[in-house]
Chain A
Amino acid sequence: MHNFDFVKPASVADAVAALSTEGAQALGGGQTLIATMKQRLADPAVLVSLTGIADLQGVCMGDGGLHVGGATPHAVVAREAGKYYPALAHLAGGIGDPAVRNKGTIGGSLANNDPAACYPSAALASGATIVTNRRKIAADDYFQGMFSTALDEGEIITSVVFPIPEKASYVKFNQPASRFALTGVFVAKYAGGVRVAATGASNNGVFRWKAAEQALSANFAASAIAGLTVDDADMISDLHGTPAYRANLVKVLAGRAVSAAT
Chain B
Amino acid sequence: MPKDSGIGASSKRREDIRFLTGRGVYTDDITLHGELHAVMVRSTVANGKIVSVGTARAETMPGVQAVFTGADFAAVGGNPAGWLINSRDGTPMREPKRPVLAHGKVRHVGDAYAAVVANTYEQARDAAQAISDDTVIEELPAIVNMAAAVANPANRVHDEIPDNVCYDWGWIEDNRAKVDAAIKSAPHVTTLELVNNRLVPNAMEPRASIGEYFPGTGDYKLTTTSQNPHLTRLLVAAFVLGIPENKLTVVAPDVGGGFGSKIYHYGEEALVLAAAKKLHRPVRWTAERSESFLSDAHGRDHETKIELASDLEGNFIAIRTTTLANVGAYLSNFSTVTPTFLHGTLMAGPYKVPNVYVNVKTVFTNTAPVDAYRGAGRPEATYSIERVVDKMCRELNLDPFEVRRKNFLTTDMFPYTTPVGLVYDTGNYQATLEKAVQLADVAGFEKRAAASRAKGRLRGMGLSTWIEACGIAPSHLVGILGARVGLYDAATVRVNATGNLSVMVGAHSHGQGHETVFAQIVSSKLGVPESSVEIVHGDTSKIPFGMGSYGSRSLAVCGVAMDKALDKIIAKGKKIAAHMLEAAEGDITFADGKFSVAGTDKAKTFGEIAFSAYVPHNYPLETLEPGLEETAFYDPANFTYPAGAYICEVEVDPDTGRVEVASFTCADDFGNVMNPMIVEGQVHGGVGQGIGQALLENAHYDENGQLLTGSYMDYAMPRADDVPFYTVDHSCSTPCTHNPLGVKGCGEAGAIGSPPAVVNAVIDALHRAGHKIDHIDMPVSPSRVWSAMNA
Contacts and interface: CB of A to CB of B under 8 A. Distances in A.
Nearest to A39: B290
Most buried by A among B290, B700, B787: B787
A177 B708 contact: no
A145 interface: no
A239 B709 CA distance: 9
Give me the 5 closest cross-chain CB pairs, A-B, nearest first: A177-B716, A176-B716, A241-B783, A252-B655, A178-B713
A245 interface: yes
B790 A244 contact: yes
Interface string A22-55: 0000000000000000011000000000000000
Interface string B750-791: 000000000000000000000000000000011100110010
A242 B787 contact: yes
B700 A248 contact: no
Contacts of B714: 177-178, 238-240
A249 interface: yes
A252 B712 contact: no
A178 B700 contact: no
Assign chain A's interface to a size class. 10 to 19
B787 A244 contact: yes
Contacts of B713: 177-178, 180
A34 to B, nearest CB: 15
Contacts of A3: 122
Contacts, number: 52
B129 interface: yes
Assign chain B's interface to a size class. 20 to 34
Interface string B496-524: 00000000000000000000000000000
Interface string A227-243: 00000000000111110
A245 B698 contact: no
A248 B717 CA distance: 25
14 contacts: A39-B290, A176-B716, A176-B782, A177-B696, A177-B714, A177-B717, A180-B713, A182-B782, A240-B783, A241-B783, A242-B787, A245-B783, A248-B655, A248-B656
Nearest to A178: B713
A225 to B, nearest CB: 13
B726 interface: no
A190 interface: no
B782 A248 contact: no
A173 interface: yes
A39 B712 CA distance: 13
Interface string A124-159: 000000000000000000000000000000000000
Nearest to B654: A252
Interface in B698-725: 698, 700, 708-709, 712-717
Contacts of B712: 177-178
Interface in B284-315: 290
A94 to B, nearest CB: 13
Contacts of A40: 125, 129
A83 to B, nearest CB: 28
Nearest to A183: B656
Contacts of A173: 656, 658, 782
A176 B715 CA distance: 8
Contact of A249 (B122, B656, B790): B656
Most buried by A among B290, B700, B783, B786: B783
Contacts of A240: 714, 781, 783
Interface string B651-672: 0000111100000000000000
A217 B209 CA distance: 63
